[in-house]
Each structure stands twice: as C-alpha cells, then as structure tokens.
C-alpha cells in the first residue's frame, strides 16, 4: 500500500514563474487570458510551461474572505505510539462538519449579483453539498445539491437543514456531475465545482496557512485525498513557505485515483471505486488539482478500509474526536504503518481530520464490531 515518490525539485518557486492578472477585466476575459482565473485585485498565478497554479497571495486573500464563516480549527495533540509528536488539524469541527466550507465560501462570496440571483448548483457525496448550502444561506443564494443515491443520511439531512434542494443521481461522481450540469443548463444556475477550481483550491489552502501559523516547525503533514482540492491547496500553501516540510496525500486503496494518475503522468479515470470513506471516492482527480499535487505534494499513499475503521475508533476512544472514515484516512496511514514514523525529538506530524459527518449508526456498528468478544 505504498505511494508514488517524486523528488522535490529545488528552486521551482523562482520569480519568473509569477504572472499578475489585472482584475479590471471580466471573469471570462481573465479566463481566456490566463487559462484559469483567480479572484481579487491581486490575482497572482504561479505558471509553469504546462499549467497554472494558485499563489500564496490568493490563499491569503481567501483566508480573509472566509473569516467569520469558516473557523480557524485547532491543532489537538494525539497519542499514537511510536510516532512522536502528532497533532490533529480538526476540520471535523467546521460548520457543516468538514473543511469544504473553506472553498465553497471563497467561491460563492465572489459571484456576481446576477449569478447570486440565479442561484447555484453542485454535485457532492455530501460534505461539499452541505458547505455550498451553508455558504449560500449566509450569502442569500438558493442552492441545489446533487448527491448519490447511497449518500449517508446525516449528509443528506444536513444539506436539507441548511436550505438546499437535494436531488439524487447514481453512485459515482461522474453521474452526479452530469446531472448537475444538466440542472445548471436547464435552470441557469452557477456551478460550484467540488474541487477542480482555483477559487476552491485557494479556499482549501487556508488549512495549510493555519497549520504553519500555529505550528511553524511542522515536519510532515498528512492529508486525505478525494478529488484533490484539499491536498492541492494545503500542499501549495505549505511548500511555498516551507519547501522542506513533507506533504503526503492519503486515499483509499479502493479509490486510488490520484496515485494512479501520478503513476500515469496524467489524470486517469477509474472503472470502479469502493471504500467506506465515501468522501474520498471520485473516479477521477481534477485536472487542476492533479497539477498542483504533482508539483507540490511529496507523495500519495493508500490505506485499506480496515485501517480507516481502526483510525475512526481510535480517534473516538483515545482522542474523544468524532471523525468520519474519510476524515480519518490520514491517521490510518500512521497506525497501519503505511507512512513510517519520523525520527527525532524535534519532529512534528500534523494529520488533517477532514470531516466529522459520521452517523451514530455507523459509529455504533464499528464500535460493536471491535467490542465483539473473541470465541475460541
């Protein structure tokens, strides 16, 4: 269950990679001029010969934009034997129960008045949908969320409670996306992408900013990987300030879309995905998230569902933290031995707990399974 190790190229953040895009133009004009756009008066992009990357300034502007809605979540010490100092970045404590509010609110707050009047639509396994519903409610925008037919009840109920109209379509991210695009065209709604957008990536990158501000000495950061927005943003924010810090993505072995894409050198689409971590099973990473991960992340590894279940229970029992399977993937990489312990008394590992939307029924089943007596 290993990952794809790629050497970090020193000196990639040279000044000639910086391109400033004036915001006097419309979004469409900026998009045509720069391939991808970034919000605000300081829309600075880091450009390679092949792609465009969000900048540290864009991430810092996103942090200002989402303040008051998204929380600055704490770093909580965890006791994991043999792993030295480990801190949990508790995104499970966000409004809506996951990190997704960062990107969603950064996106929705920048819509034009006309777009706000029309409303927004998105597709989601649950957490992004809740985030869009929450942000839309704050801004005063109607929201439609397309979820899979097997979405966890806690996530469906959460999106509805926040005012979203919930539609159901299939069980894959591809089918949800197709339905959302159809709804957007029929109703004239603005699509809020779940991960593959510079505004979304910049918002998620605020996780990395907060980690470095609270723990500037961090040695390594482990990040769950679904479509790649959280890893892309977090790795960018950290590497642009601390190129020596290691950033590793973690995804289910049954949905290793980013690992396989890195091996292929391009985004690939999986024929089948399956995992208890329902938020980490898109069939394909985003084009933009893939490029960010390839440039800024050090590695992507995979963990099996047994390790994820064990991590959920260990966080609940020892850490007193309620974390969903998707959010516990980072811890699973440590306790399973997939990621080796860092050596030294002055080393610190941060594990991002990306979400906490787990139903009591699932948590009880996992706990009951672990507590079942062994009959010999």
**pLDDT 10s digit of each residue in the chain, 376 long?**
444 444 333 222 222 222 222 233 333 333 333 333 333 323 344 544 345 899 999 999 999 999 999 999 999 999 998 888 999 999 999 999 999 999 999 999 999 999 999 999 999 988 999 999 999 999 999 999 999 999 989 999 999 999 999 999 999 888 999 999 999 999 999 999 999 999 999 999 999 999 999 999 999 999 999 999 999 999 999 999 999 999 999 999 999 999 999 999 999 999 999 999 999 999 999 999 999 999 999 999 999 999 999 999 999 999 999 999 999 999 999 999 999 988 777 899 999 999 999 999 999 999 876 554 433 3
Predicted local confidence at residue 339, as pLDDT: 96
Helix, strand, coil percentages in the chain from 3-state DSSP, rounded to 5 = 45, 15, 40
What confidence score (pLDDT) does residue 6 get? Answer: 41
Distance CA 72, CA 69 (A): 10
Sheet of 85-90, strands arranged across: 75-78, 85-90, 348-353, 220-224, 246-252, 299-303
* Cβ neighbours of 81 (radius 10 Å): 6
CB 86, CB 77: distance < 8 Å:
yes
Global pTM reads: 0.85
Q: Which residues contact 51 (CB under 8 A, 6 or more apart)?
A: 35, 288, 291
pLDDT at 40: 36
Please give the Cα distance from 105 to 242 (Å, whole number).
26
- The H-assigned helical ranges of 268-342 are 287-296, 305-317, 329-335
SS3 100: coil
b/e map 194-223, b = 16+ CB within 10 Å: bbbbbbbbbbbbbbbbbbbeebeebbbbbb
Residues composing the chain: 376
pLDDT score, position 375: 37
Write down all domains in the chain, each with its CATH number in brackets.
Answer: 15-96+198-364 (3.40.50.1100), 101-191 (3.40.50.1100)
For the stretch 245-300, pLDDT in tens is: 999 999 999 999 999 999 999 999 999 999 999 999 999 999 999 999 999 999 99
pLDDT at 122: 97
The angle formed by the CA atoms of residues 219, 247 and 95, to the nearest 5 degrees, is 100
């Amino acid at each position: 269950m290993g990952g794809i190790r790629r050497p970090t190229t020193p000196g990639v953040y040279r000044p000639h990679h910086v391109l400033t895009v004036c915001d006097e133009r419309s979004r469409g004009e900026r998009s045509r001029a720069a391939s991808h756009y970034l919000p605000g008066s300081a829309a600075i992009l880091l450009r390679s010969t092949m792609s465009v990357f969000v900048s540290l300034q864009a991430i810092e502007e996103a942090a200002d934009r989402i303040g008051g809605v998204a929380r600055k979540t704490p770093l909580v010490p965890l006791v994991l034997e043999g792993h030295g100092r480990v801190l949990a970045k508790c995104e499970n404590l966000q409004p809506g129960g996951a990190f997704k509010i960062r990107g969603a609110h950064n996106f929705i707050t920048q819509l034009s008045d006309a777009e706000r009047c029309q409303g927004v639509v998105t597709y989601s396994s649950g957490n992004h949908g809740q985030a869009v519903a929450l942000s839309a409610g704050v801004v005063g925008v109607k929201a439609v969320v397309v979820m899979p037919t097997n979405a966890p009840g806690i996530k469906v109920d959460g999106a509805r409670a926040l005012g979203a109209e919930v539609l159901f379509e299939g069980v894959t991210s591809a089918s949800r996306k197709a339905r959302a695009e159809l709804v957007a065209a029929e109703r004239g709604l603005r699509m809020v992408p779940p991960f593959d957008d510079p505004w979304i990536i910049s918002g998620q990158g605020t996780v990395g900013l907060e980690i470095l501000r609270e723990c500037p000495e961090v040695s390594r950061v482990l990040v769950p990987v679904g479509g790649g927005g959280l890893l892309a943003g977090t790795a960018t924010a950290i590497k642009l300030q601390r190129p020596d810090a290691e950033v590793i993505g973690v995804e289910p072995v049954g949905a290793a879309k980013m690992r396989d894409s890195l091996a292929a050198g391009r985004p690939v689409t999986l024929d089948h995905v399956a995992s208890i971590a329902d938020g980490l099973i898109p069939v394909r990473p985003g084009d933009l998230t893939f490029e960010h991960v390839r440039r800024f992340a050090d590695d992507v590894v995979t963990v099996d569902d047994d390790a994820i279940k064990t991590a959920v229970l260990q966080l609940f029992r020892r850490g007193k933290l309620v974390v969903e399977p998707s959010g516990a993937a980072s811890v699973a990489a440590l306790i399973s031995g997939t990621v080796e312990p860092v050596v030294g008394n002055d080393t610190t590992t941060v594990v991002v707990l990306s979400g906490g939307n787990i139903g009591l029924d699932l948590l009880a089943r996992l706990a009951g399974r672990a507590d079942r007596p062994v009959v010999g």
